[in-house]
Amino acid sequence: MTTLFVNIRELIQVEDFPKKMVSGAEMKTLPTIKNAYLVIKDSFILDFGRMEDLQPNKFDKTINLKNKTVLPTWCDSHTHIVYANNREQEFVDRINGLSYEEIANNGGGILNSAKQLQHTTEQELYEQSAKRVEEIIKLGTGAVEIKSGYGLTKDAELKMLRVIKKLNANYPITIKSTFLAAHAIPLEFKNNKKEYLDIVIKDILPSVAHEKLANYIDVFCELGYFSIEDTKRILKAGKQYGLEPKIHVNQFNAFGGVQAGVEFNALSVDHLEEMRDEDIESLKNSKTMPVALPSCSYFLSIPYTPARKMIDAGLPLALATDYNPGSTPSGNMNFVISTACIKMKMNPEEAINAATINGAYAMGIENTHGSICKGKKANLIITKNIPSYAFIPYSFGNHQIEKVYLEGKEMIF
Ligand code: NIG
Ligand code: FE
């Protein structure tokens, strides 16, 4: 089945040959074709070009886009959208003066989510999470990474990862799964972190690998959570099972997490609100993608990742939501892009590159996602009538999406 889209005002992020990612000054270049056509065949992109070059041909269906803009769907490379219930009371507590840290120390935070998740059935967890998946598809996300890490017991971690697997099977969105092996220390192991890590490494990790439930491994490397030594231990164990690292580092404190990620060839290091010069330096000439999560900075009122400094130093950068019940209860990539432009001084071109091709790289799917390229998945955002792509970040708090196509099919819920 072939579908021809004609009269596209601007076709964004086109490429003749798939690139792996864009970095440094290249991030300001966003290749587009004005007054374009696009052909998709089944679930793939078959052809595209300028309207004036369109050859008369037979297509099963022709859609006149009447001057709408077309982009590849967003690639959200960092989320925790499989979780049970919400934590709006902690949000209110923060408004009233408690810090994120104080809430966590009082048994709130990750431990609160873990308790709720442990008491939620797999079916109920699936249903809650499926709603979030549908919500992010409507907001233009076509590929998403989802982490475990709110289980903290073998049963609950496996439950989360099975829900992720089921979501991947039931929805046309591409899902990559991460075993967040060390997210918080359960209360019963408060004074015995080593014993907890032994269980994670010797019992939970082998089961995750045996059931083939994860593509990546993650650690919350942070003061009060897991040290550099703990992080390296987990990453080493994960590697033995073929799980590549994608890790939480430098959210509140910079103490070598980035370097640990680079040393273990992490696919990405994420958060990076606190970045020292040596952290930026260590990412140069590495294969590790730095990932910024501006909605988290916004929601927690913590610093933003210094994107300008990093891109100006020649680094690539990806943008993701971090959708989770504690620090970022939002999966809106449109808001992420606006916030990156407004608060991190990224140009619209840089932000769109960061949310498409670089996000795809940070999930290991850059050969199939993240751009309009022949042979890649027909994952498309059709916008409302907008004057230019800069209007997308400009209209913050809103979105400009009229339709979403995943694998060549229009998404209707
Ligand atoms: O990425 N930083 C660690 N984990 C999550 C939030 C955890 C929570 O508060 O539930 C994050 O921000
Ligand atoms: Fe996170």
Ligand 1 atom 8 nearest Cα: 326
Rounded distance, CA 322 to CA 80, Å?
6
* Mean pLDDT for the stretch of residues 256-264: 98
Rounded distance, CA 209 to CA 215, Å?
9
**Ligand 1 pocket by C-beta < 6 Å: which residues?**
109-110, 113, 220, 248, 251, 296, 322, 324-327
Q: Which CATH number fits domain 74-361: 3.60.15.10, 1.10.600.10, 3.40.50.720, 3.20.20.140?
A: 3.20.20.140
- CA proximity to 368, closest of 133, 150, 173, 188: 173
Alpha carbon of 369 to ligand 1 centroid (Å): 26
pLDDT for position 109: 95
- Tokens 């990224």 locate to 346
Percent of the chain residues past pLDDT 70, beyond the cut? 100
CATH class of 2-72+368-410: mainly beta
- CA proximity to 16, closest of 287, 298, 375: 375
pLDDT category at 227 given cuts 50, 70, 90 is very high
pLDDT for position 413: 78
Q: Which amino acid is at 59?
A: F
pLDDT at 174 over 90: yes
In a 10 Å sphere around its CB, with 0-12 CB exposed, 13-18 middle and 19+ buried, how is residue 301 labelled? Answer: exposed
pTM of the model: 0.98
Alpha carbon of 322 to ligand 2 centroid (Å): 5
Helices 154-170 and 122-138 meet at what angle, rounded to 10?
40
| 60-84 tens-digit pLDDT | 999 999 999 999 999 999 999 999 9
pLDDT for position 166: 98
For a pocket test of ligand 1, which of 115, 220, 323, 336 has the largest count of ligand atoms closer than 8 A to its C-beta?
A: 220
pLDDT category at 107 given cuts 50, 70, 90 is confident
Lowest-confidence region among 32-36, 104-108, 395-399? 104-108
Give 46-89 as a DSSP string: EEEEEGGGPPP---SEEEEEEEEEEEEPEEEEEE----SS--HH
| 115-126 tens-digit pLDDT | 999 999 999 999
Q: Which residues contact 16 (CB under 8 A, 6 or more apart)?
A: 373, 374
Q: Which amino acid is at 49?
A: G
Domain residue ranges in the chain: 2-72+368-410, 74-361
In a 10 Å sphere around its CB, with 0-12 CB exposed, 13-18 middle and 19+ buried, how is residue 372 labelled? Answer: buried
pLDDT category at 105 given cuts 50, 70, 90 is confident
pLDDT at 191 over 90: yes
pLDDT at 361 over 90: yes
Supply the mean pLDDT for the chain: 97
Angle at 121 between CA 117 and CA 125, to 5 degrees: 65
